[in-house]
Structure 1
Amino acid sequence: MTEPGVGPNAPGNMRTLVLSNDLDETREIISTAYSPYRLSVLGDPKEFSAWYAEGGFPGVTVSGLQYGAETLVAPQPLDSYLLVCQLVRGRVKVMSPGREERVVGPGETYVLDPYRSFQVHWAPGARMTTVRLSRETIEQAAADLLGVEGPLRARFSLSGATSPSAARSWAGISAAVHREVLGEGVARSSPLVASQLTRTTAAMLMETHRLITDGVDAQRPGAVAHPAVRRAMAAAEERADQPLTLADLAAAGRVSPRALQEAFRRHLGTTPLGYLREVRLGRVHQELLASRGRADVTVAQVAYRWGFGNLGRFAGEYRRVYGHAPSRTLRG
């Protein structure tokens, strides 16, 4: 093993802490750098090699890690920090026992939150970089995103960036962090810049990767969970004939408008007002069915009564859901 700081693969201001073919030595050093973990070689032990380097500024640590043989890593929960992992080359299979698993390839990311155990199956020669953020930073960013008081447990899906545009956005902030760490960036000498970049990185992570709030601290005051969504859904269903606004639905859910929007997106894949439109569309459908054969009822009358002012848009939405024009429902 080489001494820290002289590893040939450590770019810029990253310090090489491991460059070794010794399994026990690697396990001991990386367990100290991350969290205690099991490290098993699944292939030929003679092919085992490991490289680990890290660097950073207050708030963010960037690291690089590579195993030369087929390897299984099973750390304990990270507890005090979160890791955003990005494959540089090769493939890994990341697993949360009993919950999720995913094969990750070059350029793809996954998030290891502080609260659960996981395993990572490394293909020979796979290499990744990680961005490490403190648990305190992440939990405050989650609370800010959901509009609630105080820190909030921030559990993440292993599914990676939520869309190609989200992946590009994360790549942008990650590249900025790497430039600050690997070069002579201002964040290394300015606590103010370091703090701002750290908060921006955490906020970008919230916006680009899937945050899971289901069942986590659901009883904490202000935390958004299914009950808030159910209360707003009930209000939409009971008062669909009234001119409800987002603020009205948020008041019924007992959360802020922003928090309700985020909860609906995560739990239902829609928005509060989108859900209200779906309820109203269903009411129109029911009324058209009940009015079949009545010459005094028109589609326009029913649509207007349930808040659809743009008849062209209404007809398109109706056809998308029911497969035919609303006039066909009324005529039978």
Structure 2
Amino acid sequence: MSTGVAVGPDDWGEAENAVSAAYFAHELTPLTAGSEPRLNVRATQIGALRLTRIGWGADVSVDTRHPGAYAVNIPLSGRIESVSGGHDVISGPGKASVFRPDTGAVITRWTADCEIVGVKVDKDYLHRELARILGRPDRRLPDQVDLTTAAGQNWMGLLRSIVEQVRGSEGLWQTPVVAQQLSGAITSAFVLAAMPDDTAVAPRPRIVKRVLDRIDADPALAWTASDMAEAAGVSVRRLQEGFREYLGMCPRDYLLDVRLARVHDDLVAGDPSSTSVTDIAVRWGITHTGRFAAAYRRRYGVAPSATLRS
């Protein structure tokens, strides 16, 4: 689901209701007497996640408890100043504020020039993913995430890519399998960006081989990094280190290689009058068709449509 809302300039109550429906229920307080809202809010649900873009157009304060879910607020401009769990956090571009579920929190000042991307993550879903990705269910998320690190930039790049994919996929992303894959990818990348590096020993080759065998047997599965780590019985970081050491690539690149090979075989054998490149790509778990086409061309030297027509 993707929604966009425009609100009349004199109605703070309607502005509060619109953002409550799109993100979290809250109490809104304008900080400047006589100010008027210039609200911009858009929301997209992807599996257990909701991505919401919010700008009030005026200095405001927001009071909420984030019932049942974590909130990760990423300022694209301006800043948010907040207090939660006794901690003061100020975030602008390059930082993200993390709010825990069912915990009182106040954004004491959301500046007029601030627009955020808010990521709402179901509490139980994130706790399961923390256990699967890090191998430790007791890890506590920090109050703020640095998005200027390599892991932070990777997460933001993935978010931007998936938002573009959702906008151009004509509903394909709404299918349960695709939604599960996208939400899993976003969550895994967020956890790796949010948590400090664990000291880890690379898994032995047999553990890597276990994942290779599972991927080869079912590459169309909506694999996420945490799924692969769970299959290996190690954390995501340990699995990534093992793949880099023994294969010279990350698990996601190996999965793409396998999918490209399966797609190529089906394109060679396919009939262009009764099937399409998209049909075949989706059959093997490909959801980002633009990125797939570029990867296919790099590997095989031609566009996938050319292989199907040959």
**TM-score scaled by structure 1?**
0.53
Aligned pair partner of 1:142 in 111, 124, 130: 130
Aligned pair partner of 2:186 in 201, 205, 211: 201
State the alpha-carbon separation in 2 of the partners of residues 65 and 169 from structure 1. 22
SS at match of 1:19: coil
Q: Counterpart in 2 of 1:173?
A: 158
Once the two structures are overlaid, the 10-residue window that deviates more, 166-175 or 202-211, is: 202-211
**Does the aligned pair in 2 maintain the 1:56–1:188 contact within 8 Å?**
no
SS at match of 2:19: helix
Structure 1 residues 85 and 96: CA distance shift in structure 2, 3 A: same
Return the offset for 1:258. 6.0
Q: Deviations over 1:62-109 (max 9, x none)?
A: 211011111000112x232222221111121122152x2222112432
**Does the aligned pair in 1 maintain the 2:23–2:50 contact within 8 Å?**
no
Q: Deviations over 1:35-81 (max 9, x none)?
A: 332211111333333222212333332211011111000112x2322
Structure 1 residues 197 and 104: CA distance shift in structure 2, 3 A: same
Aligned pair partner of 2:41 in 47, 52, 55: 52
SS at match of 2:20: helix
Structure 1 residues 109 and 73: CA distance shift in structure 2, 3 A: same
Return the offset for 1:181. 2.6
Structure 1 residues 178 and 246: CA distance shift in structure 2, 3 A: closer
Gapped regions of structure 1 (runs ≥ 5): 1-12, 212-244, 248-256, 263-332
Is residue 69 from structure 1 mapped to residue 64 from structure 2 by the alignment? no
Q: Deviations over 1:204-254 (max 9, x none)?
A: 11111138xxxxxxxxxxxxxxxxxxxxxxxxxxxxxxxxx999xxxxxxx
Return the offset for 1:127. 0.8
State the alpha-carbon separation in 1 of the partners of residues 202 and 116 from structure 2. 43
Return the offset for 1:162. 7.2
SS at match of 1:45: coil
Q: Deviations over 1:98-125 (max 9, x none)?
A: 2x22221124322223242211221112
State the alpha-carbon separation in 2 of the partners of residues 74 and 46 from structure 1. 19
Is residue 108 from structure 1 mapped to residue 95 from structure 2 by the alignment? yes
State the alpha-carbon separation in 1 of the partners of residues 150 and 57 from structure 2. 33
Matched-pair identity in %: 18
Gapped regions of structure 2 (runs ≥ 5): 204-232, 239-310
Q: Deviations over 1:269-295 (max 9, x none)?
A: xxxxxxxxxxxxxxxxxxxxxxxxxxx
State the alpha-carbon separation in 2 of the partners of residues 16 and 176 from structure 1. 19
**Does the aligned pair in 1 maintain the 2:147–2:153 contact within 8 Å?**
no
Q: Counterpart in 1 of 2:23?
A: 34
Q: Deviations over 1:268-327 (max 9, x none)?
A: xxxxxxxxxxxxxxxxxxxxxxxxxxxxxxxxxxxxxxxxxxxxxxxxxxxxxxxxxxxx
- Residue pairs, 1:1-332, within 5 angstroms: 14-21=2-9, 22-76=11-65, 78-98=66-86, 100-120=87-107, 121-147=109-135, 152=137, 155-161=140-146, 164-184=149-169, 187-210=172-195
SS at match of 2:112: coil
Structure 1 residues 135 and 20: CA distance shift in structure 2, 3 A: farther
User: 1:203 corresponds to which letter in structure 2?
Assistant: S
State the alpha-carbon separation in 1 of the partners of residues 171 and 18 from structure 2. 30
Return the offset for 1:34. 3.1
Q: Deviations over 1:122-179 (max 9, x none)?
A: 111211112232223211111113425xxx4764222213761121121122123212
State the alpha-carbon separation in 2 of the partners of residues 66 and 44 from structure 1. 18
State the alpha-carbon separation in 1 of the partners of residues 139 and 103 from structure 2. 11
**Does the aligned pair in 2 maintain the 1:89–1:127 contact within 8 Å?**
yes
State the alpha-carbon separation in 1 of the partners of residues 157 and 147 from structure 2. 15
Number of equivalences: 204
Structure 1 residues 62 and 35: CA distance shift in structure 2, 3 A: closer
**TM-score scaled by structure 2?**
0.57
State the alpha-carbon separation in 2 of the partners of residues 37 and 81 from structure 1. 14
Give the root-mean-square deviation of aligned CA atoms.
Answer: 3.2
SS at match of 2:74: strand
